[in-house]
Chain A
C-alpha cells in the first residue's frame, strides 16, 4: 500500500505548496508591487481597503471572480480555457524543488528531485506553450502577435537562463537544489561560502559567479515578461498582448502564473547564489524568506528604473549579448574548477 500513501503525500504537499503560494505569491506579491511602486513614484499605494490597504488584493480577487466569463465568438473554446490553466500549473510546479530551510529536523521542500534544476527549466519552457495557445485561440490579431512576441522572447531567454544556472551546477557537482545549498554552508561570518562570494572556492571564483547571478536575474525577468522586458504586454503597443481577450478569473490566472513564476525565479536565485537558508544567527527559514523578498524587491526596483526595451533590442540582448557571455562563463568556470 506504500505507493498509494506516497501519491497521497505528494498530492497533499502539492496542495499545501500551491495554497501557500496563491496566498503569498499572488496576494502579498501584488500588494507589495503596488505599494513599492507607489513609494518609488512618490505616491502612496492602496490605502483604503483594510488596514494600510492590506486587503486590496482580496477585494481585487472578489471583483475578478464576479466578472462575466466571455469567450470570443470564433475562438477555439477548449484551447481558450486550457491556456491559463497550463500557465498556472507550470508556474506553480516550478516551486516543487525550491527548499525553504530546515524545520522539524528535515529540509522543507516539496520534493528534492535529483534533477531539480532541469525540472525547473523544463517548467519554464512549458509556459511558452500556454502563451502561444492563449494568443492564438483568442481569434484576435493583436493577441496572436502578442503571443508570438512573448513566446519568442521566452524561448530566447531560456538559453541564458540555463547557462547561468550551469555555473552553480558545475561548482556543486549536482543538479539538486538541496545539494547546491549544501556546499554553501559555513564560511566567513556565516556568509562567506555563498556562491556569489565565490563559494567554498577562493575569492577569484567571483569572476564567474557574479556575472552568472546578474545574467540569471536578467533572464529571469525576461522569462516572466516583467518590465523592462514586457513589450508583449505593453498597453500602448499591443492592447494587452496574448491575454487581451481574457476576462475575470482567467485573466487573474495568467497573472497568478506570472507572479508565481517570478517569485520562483527569485527563490531559485536565492537558493543558487545567495546561500539558500544559510546565514548567521537567524533560523534558516527566516533567512530564506528574507533573501526571497529582497530579490523580489530588486525585481520591482528594476521595473521602475529602466525603460521598456523594444522587441529587437530585447532579442539582440539575448542572442548577441547573453548567450555568448553564458558560453564564456561556462568555459571559464570549467577551466577554473580543474
Chain B
C-alpha cells in the first residue's frame, strides 16, 4: 500500500478496458508468419487427401475405375459413394434441413462436385492419382436459371427427392422447388397498393458471389484406433456445432470427439458449413487409423464451397404523392444450387431477409422467397452479413432510390421523411422485428454536413449541364439497418441447438485470468476485445487476461462466430460471467475489510469502503483471498460460466455516402469519396472497429464493382480463379472515411450491437446507388452489379452517354 496513489482515471487507463484502442494481441504472431493455421499442422504418419471432382454440371455416373489410381505407389485408398454406403455416410444432412451428397451417388449435380477421394503419402501423389481415376459419365441436360428450373418440363435435378412433396420448410410444388417462405401481411400490403397514389417496381439481380477467404477450407482428421477418439483440426467458424454433427454422423460419442479451430484466415460465412471434404477426411482417418489432411485449393474453394447471394428480386413500393411510403412488396426467386445448404437459423429459410423494410416506418409489408434447385454448387451463406440481410438492405435501399426518382425527390429527403423516428424505439416493424434503438436522423444530418451534400449536388448539376464533361458524377446514399446477434433461442436454432453463446472466466490466485469462449475469431480480434470487456468489468489489466477459443475440449459450448453475433451474444456472456465473479468478489472483499457488502463501492479495479479511500481491496487482493482463505460459507476459487440467450437481436445502423466519377470514354468508375458513419452502440475498441469497417467496405467494394461467378450454358464456372475473381488489393481499394454515433442497445448488458458486417451490408447498395445516380438524369433507375468498367461502358453506350 506504499505505492504512490494513482487516480482512478490513471488506473482505468492502465487497464486498457472498453473504449481503448488497444493494439491487437493477435498481430504479433501473424506479422511474423507464426500463426498456426490448419495447413501448418503436421502429425506423425499423416496422409493426404485429394478429391476427384465432376467436370460436368449434370450427369449420371456410368462407371468408376479406380485400378490405375490404386496402382500408383504411395496411394493408400480410393473411396467413392459406394464405399461410404455401408457406413450410411454417402449423404449427409445440411444445416437447412436438406441432404447433400458427400460423394456423388449415381449422379453428379454440379460441376466440381465431389465424386471420389484419394488418400496418398503426399499431396503430389494424391493429385496424380486423382487424374488416374477413370470416370465415365452420361451427360444430362443442365438447368442453371432458377426460373427455367421451375418450368413444368424442366430436368429433374434431385432424383433422390422424387415424390417428396413436403420439404423442411413446407410444401414443394415442383421437383426443383425447395420452399416458399412468406413474411409480413400480404392482404395488408395488397390493400396499401390498391390505395396508393404512387407505386414503383424494379427487378434486380443480386449476383452469385463467393466470400473467398484468404485461407481456403480444410482439416486434419486424426482418429486414434486404440482410444477410439477423434481429433479434428478444422477451418470452422462454429467448432462446437461441427462436434455435434460429427458425433451424430459417425456415432462416436461427443465426449470422444475433439474439434479444434486453430488460427482461421478469414471466414466470412464460407467456413460455417460442413463440407464433404471434412467428412471424407474423417472417414479416411477412421478407416486407415492414421491422420489425414485435406486442404482445398483456390479453384475448389470458389467452385464448390459455399457461395453467397444469387437472389433474383422484384421490389415494389406504394407511397403517397409527397413520398410517404405506405406499402412494400417483395418477391424473390432464390437460386440455392443443387442442395439446400444455406446456413440460416432453422426456422428461417431466407434468414433475416424480412429486415427488408429497412430503416423506414412502413405500415404494410409482405415478402415471399422461393428457393429453387439448379445445377450449381450449394451454399447460400451470409457473406460478411447477418443471414440474407445484405440482399434485403440492397433491395429496400434501391427501391427507396427508385421511388425518389419517380417523385423527383432528393434521396436524403425521402429517407428522412420515412425514417423510424428516434422516439418510436423500441419499434416493431411490419415484419415483426422489434428494433432495439436508433437515431437515424442525427446520423444522416452528420454525414450530409460532413460531405457538404448540397455542394456535391450543385457540382453534379454543373457537370450535367456541360456536354463536354469527361465524367458522369454520381452520389450514392444509403441509410441502412442491420439485424445481428442471432439469436433468441425460442426462435433461433441450428440443427436444434439454440443460438446462445457462452463464456467461462477463471481468475487465477495472483489476479491474472483466462477466459474461454464458444465463439472463434477469424480476424475479428477477439483475443484483444474480449479481454477489454473483462478488464472493465473486473478491474484486471487486459494484458494479463488470456482469451482462448476454438477448442471444444476446453471451451464451453457455443454456436460460433458469424452474423456479427460475437459481441452481441458472446460479448454479453462475458459481461454476465464477469458480473457473477464480481458479485462473489464483493462478498470476499467485504469479509476482508470487515464491513457489510453494501458498505462497499466499486471503483475501476477495487472495492472501497464508502467514505474511506484508504480502505480498499483490489481484484488481485480478492483473488488471492479466494484461493488462500475464503470466507466461511463461500466456495474457494473465483470463476464463473455464463450461457447467454439473447432476449432480442441487435440493430446496428449506418449512413453511407459515396461519390463516383465515371469515365464516359472507358466506363471506369473512380470512387472519389466514401464516407461511412456507423452506429454499433457501445464501442469496445475503436481501432478494431475502424479495421473491421475498412475490411467490410473493401469487401463491399469487391462485390459491387467486380465479383461474380459466371456460368456458361453447360454449367462451367468461368470465374473460379483469382485471375477472374475480383479480390481488391490496396491498388484498387479507395480511401475510406469513417465516422460514428453511439446509440447503445437497451437490452444488451454492454449496450454493444456488433459491427463487422455493417460496412459490407451498407456499402454494396451505396456503390450501386452512386453508379445509378450518375445515370439518373438519363432515366436509368437501376443497373445490376457488378459495376465493372465493361458493363458500365455498355450502359454508357446504351444511354447515349459514352464519349
Q: Do A and B bind each other?
A: no
Which residues of B line the A interface, CB within 8 A? Answer: none
